[in-house]
Amino acid sequence: MESGFLEMLATIAPIIIIVLLLLLLLAIGYVKASPDTAYIISRLRKQPKVLIGKAGIKIPFLEKKDELNLQLIPIDVKTSSAVPTADYINIRVDAAVNVKISDQPERLALAAQNFLNRPTDYIAQVSREVLEGNMREIVGKMNLEEMVSDRQKFATLVKENAEPLAKVDKITMYGDGNSSKLVKDIVGTLTQVTDGLKESTGVDLQSVLSGFLGAKLLDTK
Taking the mean position of all CA atoms in its chain, how far away is CA 91?
25
Closest CA to 163 of 107, 124, 125: 107
Q: Is 37 strand, coil or helix?
A: strand
Domain borders along the chain are: 2-69, 73-210
Q: What are the tens digits of pLDDT across the range 174-208? A: 333 333 333 333 333 333 333 433 444 444 444 44
Q: What is the DSSP letter of 206?
A: H
Measure the CA–CA gap between 170 and 159, rounded to whole angstroms. 7
pTM > 0.75: yes or no: no
Q: Assign a CATH topology to domain 73-210.
A: Tetrahydropterin Synthase; Chain A (3.30.479)
Q: What are phi and psi of 2, to 5 degrees?
A: -65, -40
Q: What are the tens digits of pLDDT across the range 55-106? A: 998 888 888 899 999 988 888 888 888 888 888 888 887 777 788 888 888 8
Number of CB atoms found within 10 A of residue 122's CB:
13
What per-residue confidence (pLDDT) applies to 4?
65
